[in-house]
Amino acid sequence: MAIDVQGIGKSFGSTRAVDDLSFHVPDGVVTGFLGPNGAGKSTAMRLMLGLDRGEGATLYNGKTLKAYPHASQVVGTHLDARPFLPGRSARDHLRMLATDAKLPGSRIDEVLDIVGLAEVAKKRPKGFSLGMAQRLGLAGAILADPDALMLDEPANGLDPQSIQWLRQFLKHYASQGKAVLVSSHLLSEMQLMADHIVVIAAGKLVADGTVDELTSLRGDVLVRCDDADRLAGLLGEVPVRREGIDGVAINGLTTDAVGRIAFDNGIAVYELTKRTASLEDTFFELTGEGQQFAFKSVDSAEGGAS
């Protein structure tokens, strides 16, 4: 089940929250959906599900969600931190969601067991911690064993063990040929969890590719050698910068190419390293102008206080 997002858009008054956004969520991998606060991730997800009214279309294996007889078997969603009635027991909440696909009670118990809420199945969730609430939301999303999952910040409130479990679970889920779209602010976690990344800022698409593709775009090659100045000169128009006494950082060339140039020109190489940017570095570079509610820089904040 692949998801095709085709030109979705929405405005709130004069603010363009999502602007002609198109991307593809492939099956078989986890797709991370990244963007700074106010970038339009949640609005985009709601548009994809038809919850918000806007422009464009989202196709699930070529068809709209409404074209399927049981939407819960097409895409499972978890969009809000506490999407349940505080006075209805966890099991009854899932019973309600199970009605669409006429799922048996045994499936509800199975899912509660998967997310570790079996012991509190009959308790009302008004006293649930944020982590437990997230688990119940996830249980609702996977209940009908849908072909796609759409989760908005599912790791919020989870402890490190639970985050690790979530990562493994979602990777396993995707490995069954299902599409998984996850938004998150935890970039380091997303680097571990996602194979494919979609980045938006100010409602627009700014990057779409595999994690390796995105991080290598911002990576470079570090070479330490016996004549760094001469090597830098040999590279012509290729962007380089000096690092330390004998180091040169080179953008846009592979380690093989740099090694060949050094060898051909009789330059002794002490170190040749391919350096990839972290997803966090890439994210900041991609979305630097697109943060809607930005903090003041520490310097300017201190300046204002003095």
Binding site for another protein (CB under 8 A): 46, 49-53, 65-66, 70-72, 75, 77, 79-80, 82-89, 92-93, 95-97, 99-100, 102, 140
CB 176 within 8 A of CB 140: no
Which C-beta is closer to another protein: that of 99 or that of 161? 99
Task: Report which of 274, 275, 278, 273 is spatially closest to residue 215, judged by C-alpha positions.
Answer: 278
Q: How far is the CB of 201 from another protein (least distance, A)?
A: 22
Cα separation of the two ends of the chain: 57
Spatial distance between the Cα atoms of 178 and 158, rounded to a whole number of angstroms:
24
Question: What letter would DSSP give residue 168?
Answer: H
Q: How many CB atoms lie within 10 A of CB 121?
A: 18
Which C-beta is closer to another protein: that of 122 or that of 242? 122
Q: How far is the CB of 150 from another protein (least distance, A)?
A: 8
Q: How far is the CB of 179 from another protein (least distance, A)?
A: 15
Which C-beta is closer to another protein: that of 46 or that of 218? 46
CB 48 within 8 A of CB 3: yes
Which C-beta is closer to another protein: that of 46 or that of 167? 46
Spatial distance between the Cα atoms of 250 and 236, rounded to a whole number of angstroms:
11
Spatial distance between the Cα atoms of 48 and 145, rounded to a whole number of angstroms:
19
CB 74 within 8 A of CB 145: no
Which C-beta is closer to another protein: that of 126 or that of 172? 126
Q: Which amino acid type is present at position 78?
A: H
Which C-beta is closer to another protein: that of 71 or that of 205? 71
- Pairing state between β 220-225 and 269-275: antiparallel
Q: How far is the CB of 31 from another protein (least distance, A)?
A: 18
Which C-beta is closer to another protein: that of 149 or that of 249? 149
Q: How far is the CB of 89 from another protein (least distance, A)?
A: 7
CB 193 within 8 A of CB 185: no
User: On the CB side of 98, how many CA atoms lie within 13 Å of its CA?
Assistant: 19
Q: How far is the CB of 171 from another protein (least distance, A)?
A: 23
Task: Report which of 154, 149, 106 is spatially closest to residue 132, judged by C-alpha positions.
Answer: 154
Q: How far is the CB of 76 from another protein (least distance, A)?
A: 8
